[in-house]
A and B are shown apart, each in its own frame.
Chain A
C-alpha cells in the first residue's frame, strides 16, 4: 500500500463514522476500527522491508514551486510511531465503544479521532518538512476538538483552548525554525536535510533554528515551562487522554526531536537546552504527580515526567542514550495507555477518580486491579517489567554524563526523579486498590464488561512480555528505530542483569526511598498544601487577559454590529484602491469609436434612468420600489436584446418575473414602508459614497468599452470550436453546457443548495418559537381582495399552462443552436407552474402537483453529474461532450448531443430550486391562516345550481 494512501486513509475514513452512527454504535465503532486496521495493515506490510534497513518512499508533486511536495517515507522511526499510533488507536477505538455513554455523540467522536489519527500518521510519514508542518497543525486542531469533546463542561472548553493556544503557538515557532532549516540546506525534503549535519551545525542560523524547533517540540510534548496545558487537557474523555496524552500527540514532540537528532544533536547547545529541560521536567512533574489526588491528574503529571525523561535521554546526544529513549517510548506507551484506560474504568464504575474517596477496590475490581498493578509496577521500574529495563538503562546513561563539569549532578537528580516516580506509582496502587473496602463510594464499583478491559489487558500483557523477553519482543524494533534516529547502526543489548553497576544501586535506592516517601505521604502533603505555589492556569489566564481585552476593544470599535457601517467602509476601501490604481497606472485615451445612439435606445435609456432615479427617491414605499425594480429589470432585458444578447434577455426577463413574484409574496409579511431612520447628515454622507461609487464604476466601464482588448480574447477560440467541437451554433449555450460545463455544474449545485437552505429555513421557522407564534396570531395589515381567485385569471392560467410547457420544451430543445437552453426553459416552466399556484390557490395546485421539488433538485444535479461521468466510459476527461447527426424516416436530419442530457440536469435543478423557494413562502402563508383551497373557486357555480334546483 502506498504511504500516501496510508496517510490519507484515516482522513477518508473520517467520513464513515458520522454516517454509520445511524446504523448503530457497533457499526460505527467497527468501521472506525476497520479503517484503522487497514492503515495498520498497510504499515505492517512495509515492516519487513524497513526491518531489513530499507527506506520505503512515496513521492507526489504538489506545489513544486514552493518546495512543497507530498513526499512520504517510512524508516524505522516512522515504523515505530505509525505502529504505535495505529495499534494503540485500535485499542482505544475498542475501549471508547464501551466507555462513551449513549448520550455522547459517538459518530462525532470517532470522526475527530480519525482526523487526529490521520494527522499523526502524516507527521511520522512526512518526508517534507512543510508537509510535516501542515500535519503538525492538524494535530493541534483535531486534538482541540477531542479535548473539548464534552462541550458542556467549562473545564473541557478551557482545557481545549489552553492546549490549542500553547501547542499552536509552539507550532508557529516551529514553522519559523523549519523554514530557517530549509533555507540553510536549500531543500525542504527531510531526507536531504538529514544528510547535511555539518552544513546546518556550521551555520550562523543553527541556534535560532534549534531554539524555534525546540519550542515547537517542547510545547507539544509538555516540557517545562510549557507543561501546564497537559493536566488541564485531562478534562477530555478518558479514551482521548489515553490516546493523545500517553501514546501519540505528546510524543509528537519527541518524534520531532528524534527525527532531527542526526542534524541537530551533538552540540553543547543541544545538550544543555534539551537535557536540562528534560531533567527539570522529569523531577518537577514527578513531584507534583505524587501530590495529585485525581487519578487522571496523577497520570498526566507522570506522563509529563516520563516525557521529560525521554527528552533528557535524547538531549544527551549519544547513540546509546538515543537507543534507550526509543526503548522507553515503547515501554511508556504500553504501561501509560493501560493506566489511563484503567483510570477511566475506575471513574466509569465508581463515579469518582479522587484517590481520597477510593481505596479497597482490590476485592471489588480484581481484573482492573491486576492490570493497574502490572502497569504501575512497570512505571515504578520494578523488575522484571519493561519499565525497569528502560529506567535502569536510563540511570546507566546518566552516570556517564557530565553536566557543567560535574559528574554527580545528573545521576543524583535522575535518581530523585525516579524516587518520586516509584512513590506515585505505589501510591496509585496502594491508595486506590489496597486498604479496607469502603462503604461510601459514589457508586458501587465492580469490574466492567470484557469489551472495556480488553484493551488495557492486552497492553498489560505486552508490559510483561516485553519485560520478560525484551530482546525477542522488541530487540529488532528498537535496533531498527534507533538506527533511524542516530542515522547509523545502533547496538542494542537489553538485559535484566548488568552486574553490580552504579545504576543498580541507584535503582535500589530509588525504590527504597520511594517506599519511605509513600509512608510519609500525609506529613509531606500537609507541607505541600501549606506552601504557596504558582497556579499555572491563573498565570496563563493573566497573561492572556490583556490580549483578550485588547482584541475585544478593537473588535468592539470596528465591529459594532452595524451592517451599513461595514458596507460603507468596504465601499470606500474599494473606491480608494481603485482610485490608487488609476492614479498610479499608465493610461492613454480610448481608440474605439462610439456606436451610434438610435432613438429607441435613447427612449429605453430614459426609462431606465427615470426608474432608477425614482427608486432612489421613493424607496420607502416598498410596493412602489418593487414596481420600479420591475421596470428596471425589463429595461435591462430589452437592452440585452438590443445589444445582441438574446439568451441574456430571455433569462433576465424570466428571472425578473420570478424575483418580483418572490418579493411580492415576501412583502405580504413585511412592513409596507421603510421609516425614516437616518439623520439628514447621514443620508447625505451615504449619498456621497453612493455617488462616488457610481461615478467610479460608470467611468471604469466607459473607459473599458472605449478600448480594444489588450490581449487576444479566448472568445475567438469558443467561436471557432463551438460548431466543430461542441456541435452547437449557439455559442453561449455551448459554453455553458460544454466548454465551461464544470462551472455550470457548480452553479446549479449552488442554486440547488440555495433552494434547500430556503426550505430548511422555513422548516425551522415553522417548527415553533417566536416566528411561529407570530404567524399563528397573524392579522393581515391590508384588506384582502374579495375574490381571491378571479375567474378570468383561473381560466387564463389553465389555458396557458400546456402552451407554456410546450414553449419550455421548445426553448429547451432549440437551446443548442438558437437562443434558449436549460436555464431559460427551467425558468419558463417554473413560472407557468407558479401561475397556477397564484391563480387557483396553493391547495388546489399542490394536490395536482405530484413531483417533489427536492427530488427535482436532486435529480437535476445527479443527471448533470452522471452526464459528466459518462465521458469517463469513453475514456475522455470529465464533462467531455459528444454529438452526432441522425436521420429517421419522415423527419429531417437531427442532432443528438450528450450536452442535452447535461442541459436537462440544469433544467430540472432550476425548476426545482425556483419552485421550492416560492412554495416555501406559501407554507408561511398557510401558517398565517391563509386557508387552503381544495376547490379552485370561492363560488362553486355547480353546487349553487343544484342547491337552487332543490
Chain B
C-alpha cells in the first residue's frame, strides 16, 4: 500500500510541476490543484497509513490513526479551495482585461510549428 501511495504522490507532483511550468493560466491553475492534492496526501501519509482504524474514540479500541495530520489536511483542503477560487478569478480578470491568458511578461518563445492564437 505504501508503494501505491508514494508512487501516486510522486506522479501527481510530477504532473503538477509540469503543468505549472506551462505558459497559460489554465494549465497553471490545474497544476496547482494537482500539487495541492499531492501535498495533502503527502502530509496525510506522514501520519503513517492505517486501514480500518479511524480517529474516533471508541470503548474498545484496536488502535487509532493519526488525527493530527488529518486535521491539518482538512483545513488545507478548504483553504486550497479558497486560494484556487482566488487565482481562477485573477486569471479570469487578467484574460478579460487583456484578451490573452499568457502568463509572464518575457519575450515569447516561438515554437517550431505554426502558432495558434489565444482567442
Which A residues are closer than 8 A to B by beta carbons? Answer: 560-565, 567-568, 571, 592, 594-597, 601-602, 605, 608-609, 612-613, 615-616, 619, 622, 625-626, 629, 632-633, 636, 639-640, 642-648, 651-652, 655, 658-659, 662-663, 666-667, 669-671, 673-680, 682, 686-687, 689-691, 693-695, 697-699, 701-702, 704-706, 709, 713-715, 718-719, 722-723, 729-732, 735-736, 740, 743-744, 747, 750-751, 754-755, 757-758, 761-762, 764-765, 769-771, 774-775, 817-819, 823, 827, 910, 913-914, 917, 920-921, 924
Q: A642-B51, A662-B84 are in contact. Are A771 and B93 (CB under 8 A)?
A: yes
Given known pairs A736-B74, A758-B86, the reply for A615 and B17 (CB within 8 Å) is no
Task: Name the one of B9, B25, B47 contacting A670, with C-beta atoms under 8 angstroms.
Answer: B25
Q: Are the C-beta atoms of B116 and A601 separated by less than 8 Å?
A: no
Among A645, A702, A913, the residue within 8 A (CB) of B2 is: A702
Cα(A769)–Cα(B96), bound, Å:
10
Query: Which of B12, B16, B29 interacts with A663 by CB under 8 Å?
Result: B29
A-B contact pairs, 20 of them (CB 8 A): A561-B106, A562-B106, A597-B4, A602-B4, A608-B8, A619-B27, A629-B33, A648-B44, A655-B80, A675-B115, A694-B13, A697-B10, A699-B10, A704-B46, A714-B68, A715-B47, A718-B67, A730-B56, A750-B82, A819-B54
Query: Least Cβ distance of B55 to chain A in Å?
Result: 4
Do A677 and B109 touch (CB < 8 A)? yes
A927 to chain B, nearest CB (A): 10
By size class, the interface of chain B is 35 or more
- Across the interface, A605 reaches (CB within 8 A) one of B4, B21, B88, B93, namely B4
* Residue contact B90 to A655, C-beta cutoff 8 Å: no
Distance in Å from the Cβ of B56 to the closest Cβ of chain A?
5
**With A651-B74, A697-B38, A771-B97 as contacts: A595 and B89 at CB distance below 8 Å:** no
- Whole-angstrom CA separation of A771 from B41 in the bound complex: 38
Contact residues in B for A730 (Cβ distance below 8 Å): 55-57
Out of A594, A732, A736, A747, name the residue touching B79 (CB < 8 Å). A747
Whether A917 pairs with B14 at a CB distance below 8 angstroms is no
Q: Which residues of A contact B57 (CB under 8 A)?
A: 719, 722-723, 729-731
Q: 0/1 per residue, B75-119, Cβ < 8 Å to A?
A: 101111111111011111101111101011110111111011111
C-alpha spacing A750/B78, complex, angstroms: 10
Q: Which of these, B71, B82, B88, contacts A732 with CB under 8 Å? A: B71
B79 A693 Cβ-Cβ under 8 A: no
Q: Mark B43-60, 1 if CB is under 8 A from A, else 0.
A: 011111111111111100
B-chain residues with CB within 8 Å of residue A920 when the two chains form the complex: 89
Chain B residues with CB under 8 A of A652: 40, 77
On whether the beta carbons of A690 and B17 are closer than 8 Å, the reply is: yes
Chain A min CB distance to B101 (Å): 6
Interface centre among B33, B58, B118 (most CB of A within 10 A): B33
Residues of B within 8 A of A636 (CB): 37, 40-41
Min CB–CB distance B75 → chain A (angstroms): 5
A644 pairs with B9, CB closer than 8 A = no
C-alpha gap A682/B98 in the complex (Å): 26
CA distance A690 to B14 in the complex (A): 4
Additional pairs, 17, CB under 8 Å, beyond known A770-B96, A823-B74: A560-B105, A608-B8, A625-B26, A636-B37, A644-B52, A655-B78, A659-B84, A675-B24, A676-B111, A676-B116, A677-B115, A686-B21, A690-B21, A694-B12, A732-B67, A751-B82, A754-B85
Least CB separation from B67: chain A residue = A731
Q: Which residues of B contact A571 (CB under 8 A)?
A: 17
Contact B17 A694 (CB under 8 A): yes
Contact of A667 with B96 at beta-carbon distance under 8 Å, contacts A698-B13, A722-B57, A823-B74 already known: no
- The total of interchain contacts (Cβ-Cβ below 8 angstroms) comes to 345
Residue of B with least CB distance to A781: B119
Contact (Cβ within 8 A) A735 B67: yes
Cα separation A682 to B18 with both chains bound (whole Å): 11
A761–B45 CB distance below 8 A:
no
* Contact status B74-A670, CB under 8 Å: no
Chain B residues near A662: list those with CB within 8 A. 84-85, 88
3 tightest A-B contacts by CB? A698-B10, A694-B14, A561-B105
On chain B, the residues within 8 Å of A666 by CB distance are: 88-89, 91-92
Cβ contacts under 8 Å, A736 to chain B: 71, 74-75
State the Cβ distance, B26 to closest chain A Cβ, in Å: 5
Residues of chain B within 8 A (CB-CB) of A565 are 104, 106
**Cβ contact within 8 Å between B77 and A651:** yes
**Whole-angstrom distance between the alpha carbons of A556 and B13 in the complex?**
30
B73 touches A648 (CB 8 A): yes
User: Which of chain B's residues have a CB closer than 8 A to the CB of A735?
Assistant: 67-68, 71
Contact assessment for B1 and A615 in the assembled complex, using a CB-CB cutoff below 8 Å: no
- Closest-by-CB residue of A relative to B57 is A729
| Residues of chain A within 8 A of B25, CB atoms compared | 670
Closest CB-CB distance, A231 to chain B, in whole Å? 39
Q: Contact at A715–B98, with CB atoms within 8 Å? A: no
Tell me the smallest distance from the CB of B114 to a CB of chain A, in Å.
Answer: 9
Contact A823 B78 (CB under 8 A): yes
B residues near A693, Cβ cutoff 8 Å? 13-14, 17
Tell me how far the C-beta of B78 lies from the nearest C-beta in chain A, rounded to whole angstroms.
5
Residues on B with beta carbons closer than 8 Å to the beta carbon of A765: 93, 96-97
CB pair B46–A701 under 8 Å, yes or no, is yes
Q: Is the CB of B89 within 8 A of A917?
A: yes
Find B49's partner among A643, A659, A663 (CB 8 Å cutoff).
A643
Contacts of A675 in B (CB 8 A): 24, 115-118
Given known A-B contacts A597-B4, A690-B17, A633 and B96 have beta carbons under 8 A apart: no
In angstroms, Cα B93 to Cα A750, docked, is 21
Instruction: Find out whether the CB atom of B96 lies under 8 angstroms from the CB atom of A644.
Output: no
Specify which of A643, A644, A679, A744 is in contact with B111 (CB 8 Å cutoff). A679
Task: Tell me, in angstroms, the Cα distance from A436 to B56 when the chains sit together.
Answer: 94
Q: How far is the CB of A719 from chain B (nearest CB, A)?
A: 5
How far apart sit A320 and B67, CA to CA, in the bound complex (Å)? 73
**Contact in complex: A563, B103 (CB < 8 Å):** yes
- B residues within 8 A CB of A613? 11, 15
- Residues from chain A with a CB closer than 8 A to the CB of B82 are 750-751, 754-755, 913, 917
CB contacts (< 8 Å) of A644 on chain B: these are 50-55, 65
Supposing A705-B2, A750-B82 touch, asked if A669 and B109 sit within 8 A by C-beta, the answer is: no
Q: Which residue of B lies closest to A635 (CB)?
A: B8
Q: List the B side residues contacting A755 at CB < 8 Å.
A: 82, 85
Residues of chain A contacted by B99 (CB below 8 angstroms): 770, 774
Residue of B34, B37, B68, B89 touching A715 (CB-CB under 8 A): B68
Please measure, in the bound complex, the distance between the C-alpha atom of A625 and the C-alpha atom of B25, giving whole angstroms. 13
Complex contacts, A677 vs chain B, CB 8 Å: 22-24, 108-109, 111, 115
Chain A residue at minimum C-beta to C-beta distance from B46: A704
Residue contact B105 to A597, C-beta cutoff 8 Å:
no
Give the docked Cα–Cα distance between A612 and B106 (Å).
30
Q: Specify which of A564, A698, A701, A747 is in contact with B78 (CB 8 Å cutoff).
A: A747
- Residue pair B109, A679 in contact (C-beta under 8 Å): yes
Complex interface: chain A residues within 8 A of B15 (CB): 612-613, 615-616, 690, 694
